Chain A
Amino acid sequence: MPDIKFRLKRQDPRSKENPEAHWEEYTVKYEGENLTVLEGLFYIQENLDPSVSFRYGCGQSICGSCAMYINGAYRLACQTNVKHLDVDVITVAPMPHLPLIKDMIVDMDDFFAKYEQIKPWLIRNSADPEKEIIQSAKDAKKIEMPSDCILCGSCYSSCPSAWGEDNYLGPAALLKAYRFEVDTRDEAGRERMPNWDNERGVYRCHTIMNCVEACPKELNPTEGIEWLKRAAVRRRMFKKAK
């Protein structure tokens, strides 16, 4: 049975005995060839230290619960096979630059508040047709990339522009704005625009592109933000521009 060392960044800010951040080391044993980081965390929770807290959901990289900072990179714990990391020690820390609740649990309230701010829903003014709204396969393709976002928060945590400005909407919310603005079924016109066309929105993005590197689904928030910047110019110059 192989084993591997895990170093976890632990902190319980509400603890009376030890509210400080510190590292703890565990030896995780497993059967077979494969072990994901999430399985490793469950092993620790079940066998070595029941007090360790971490989020989990699907275990198959679609729910976005288990984004963590693993060996110096943003990764989904469930999707990360320790074999592929090719290191002697697995280091697991919570996503940085976000308020900490405990261990790997970060506060996502701001993240979702910003998501809500950009009106992340299809806006329609005309009456719905009896059947589907016609959308070409080509136009449907345009919303695929931004629709694949799982709201894990990796991009938001990784963005230096967000570190320096608490009110910056961040890559995920702006990618969501792009997802609807680019959807041919959306009739928001300029309704949603004031929420992202400002210094807390797209202009706070300095194309550092950490978000692209951080995204565990290999999406490109910067591409969406750049599209929005161009759309804003278009809409200012031409009254009828989409």
Chain B
Amino acid sequence: MIHHDVIVVGGGLSGLRAAIEAKRAGVDVAVLSQVHPSRSHSGAAQGGINAALANHPDGSHDTYELHAFDTTKGGDYLVDQDAAIQMAKDAIDIVYEMDHWGCLFSRFDDGRIAQRPFGGAGFPRCCYGLDKTGHYLLHTLVEQAYRLQIKMYVEQYVAKLIVHDGVCQGVVAYDMIHGGFESFTANAVVIATGGAGRTYSNSTNSIVSTGCGMFMAYHAGVPLKDMEFVQFHPTGLFTTNILMTEGARGEGGYLVNGLGERFMEKYAPKFMELAPRDITARSIQTEINEGRGINGQGFVHLDLRHLGAEKILERLPGIRDLAIHFEGVDPIEEPIPVVPSQHYWMGGIDTNVDGATPMPGLYAAGECACVSVHGANRLGGNSLLETIVFGRRAGADVVRYLETLTDKRPDARTAFAAAQLMEQRIEELGAKTGTEDVYALRAEMTETMKEHYGLFRDEATMKAGLEKLLSIKERVKNVGLRWTGSVFNVDMIRTVEFEGMVDLALCVAAGALARTESRGAHYRTDHNTRDDVNWLKHTLAYYQPDAPGPRLDAKPVTLGPFELQERKY
């Protein structure tokens, strides 16, 4: 058994930033991560990070209030306004701090940090480093983590929370290199494991974005909030769903249908290609569904050719490489075939503005958490921001929490038993001759999510999808391990994580079926307007060990200075 005052699960931007904050306060903190922290999904983010620096001449009047307003409106008013204001306020300081730590930012001629236009904001606010902003930010925090000598346990698959008398006291992790399960006790745990994009078959996310932190918390009794809100990015590559940054449109790229029209003028005449993602993605899908895809096929074109080779090489070299390698298309010469693709998880572990969950000792930050700053639809450039802002806030609050504790000894017996239980569960799984193929089930589930809980939803389609999910949930019981080796057992990790992913899928389904309105990314053709009278509230989903799906509850939205209005762009 290993002990640290604070355990951070996940080595992406949120996790590292939380660990850095705790470490700087002199706390004994360790990071556990399934991959080396530099390999976290944060690094795949491309376009940028929003902050009202007011560096751009067209945005010299920018303020954090305007940023918070755009965020709230973009989120279709399901945003907790106090949290959005806090995030926008912290944003400015966060970006300067990352600069002071050496992050690469693209610059204006006067040497200040450059800003580009991004969706849902009326003028340029998005700070960026070419089209690899996530990569540069992530490596900067990895570097800081090494500088501060933060203890990192790399290639540890965290499988379970240790909970004693309702208080979180650590985690159980599978050591992928040496084999076996180990209990890590702690006085506080920060979950920073990212989103659950891979519950969909058409995701832009890393293969490791399975939502493991979310289902760990959920199984421990912590509610998941607003799980029905799943973002589809307008422009994933047609064949692989790999992300083509919103920055491509921010730099002036066009969306073009099979008739050669810049069709966004029908849907968002003022913002055009830079409407928020929910609206842009639905517009693209509408064109495709109505037969106006390219040659009637299931994609439209993202056309950058008019930007010219110099600008593409200067500002968008990363997506050019991706388009060449993965789609065989050079954006300098040809338009890029794109399709809306699952991208971001607005919902997640219910936290307050300091990352604290309802369970004492348990914190969450980043995509796995739901504060909520994104409400029903996240604006581009706000997720990198969220990871660092709320990682830092969670790290600071953990330190305050530790100071309030009188008894700092986690219960050894509970911790020991937790690892044993996990070993036992794996032994049972290994002994079973599974009659179901876990990978076939996985494919079936991810396809069900894509087909039944996508951009356009209605009761009949969703109910049919729910039937499929319930059947999968039942059949998972008949899955066994195919290989029981102890070192780097990919089969075991993928089998164990799948059970949790099904539960997350059921939360999406339950929330989406219950919410009889359209708001942000949750669009129902059978209830196609926003219903503020009945649905201006967060959904909470609680795990029920004895039932297949969650118990749903609600929580009020924190309103503030921004009055409800219709979203027009």
Contacts and interface: CB of A to CB of B under 8 A. Distances in A.
Nearest to A53: B488
B107 A34 contact: no
Contact of A57 (B106, B177, B206, B491): B206
A31 to B, nearest CB: 11
B325 A61 contact: yes
Contacts of A30: none
A125 interface: no
A45 B483 CA distance: 10
Interface stretch (B135-143, B223-231, B249-257): B135-143
A130 B114 CA distance: 17
B533 interface: no
Contact of A64 (B39, B111, B482): B39
A136 B102 contact: no
Interface string A1-26: 00000000000101000000000000
Interface stretch (B40-48, B166-174, B377-385): B40-48
Given A116-B146, A122-B101, A140-B107, A59 B206 contact: yes
Interface string B17-45: 00000000000000000011011110110
B147 interface: yes
Contact of A60 (B102, B112, B147, B322): B322
Contacts, number: 155
B488 A65 contact: no
B139 A147 contact: yes
Given A131-B96, A136-B111, A121 B207 contact: no
A63 B490 contact: no
Contact of B43 (A63, A116, A120, A183): A63
B96 A52 contact: no
B104 interface: yes
B277 interface: no
A45 to B, nearest CB: 6
Contacts of A131: 53, 96, 112
Interface stretch (A85-93, A101-109, A156-164): A101-109
Best-buried of B109, B146, B325 by chain A (most CB within 10 Å):
B325
Given A32-B239, A65-B35, A147-B104, A132 B112 contact: yes
Closest 10 interchain pairs by CB?
A: A122-B102, A134-B111, A50-B482, A53-B488, A50-B483, A63-B39, A50-B491, A46-B439, A121-B143, A58-B206
26 contacts: A46-B439, A50-B481, A53-B489, A57-B206, A57-B208, A58-B206, A60-B206, A61-B322, A62-B43, A63-B39, A63-B41, A63-B43, A64-B38, A79-B325, A79-B326, A102-B487, A121-B146, A122-B100, A122-B143, A124-B100, A128-B100, A136-B109, A136-B111, A137-B108, A144-B104, A151-B36
